[in-house]
A = this chain, B = another copy of it.
Amino acid sequence: MTGTWPSADTPPPSDTQRVRLWLRMLRATRRVESDLRERLRDAHDTTLPRFDVLAALHREPDGMRMTELSKRLMVSNGNVTGLVDRLAADGLVARAAIEGDRRATRVHLTDAGRATFEAQAPTHREWIDEIFEDLSTDEVAVMIAALEKLLHDKESR
């Protein structure tokens, strides 16, 4: 073992603060996701992955390559393809060929997709405000900074 722990005859602490943090992050994230999933279904008859695709595309008026979209959402290419197929069948997104690269396409919101997202986004934002309402401005700021440090570290590796 190459860790920073004491030798084998001094057992490591049974639960470090970092492990506690990770377990709570995981649990809180799952809880919030499950809450949002239920609210999206009840209020907008949609799913979290569908909402996430519309949200990602809404930030990119020129559309995104499928591989970019998959990376952004951290889901597999296969899953994104299925989602985009269904959103396209519903008229919310469309694909366009990329000049000079005949194997790749960009996907972008249609007008209907933009309108759908813009109708859903305000309620989504209200829910987040409500879910996180008991965290102070300072707590939120510390957490954002810490998570960005974590994400930056992992992206630069």
Q: How many copies does the complex hold?
A: 2
Report A47 CB to chain B, min CB distance, Å: 15
Interface residues of A in 127-149 (CB under 8 A from B): 128-132, 134-135, 137, 139-149
A 10-37 contacts with B by CB, 8 A: 12, 16-22, 24-35
Chain A residues bordering chain B, tally (CB within 8 A): 53
Nearest opposing residue in chain B for A17, CB measure: B140
A12–B125 alpha-carbon span in the complex (Å): 9
Chain B contacts for A31, CB-based, 8 A: 74, 150-151, 154
User: Which of A12, A27, A123 is the most central at the interface, judged by chain B CB atoms within 10 Å of its CB?
Assistant: A27
Min CB distance A24 to B, Å, is: 4
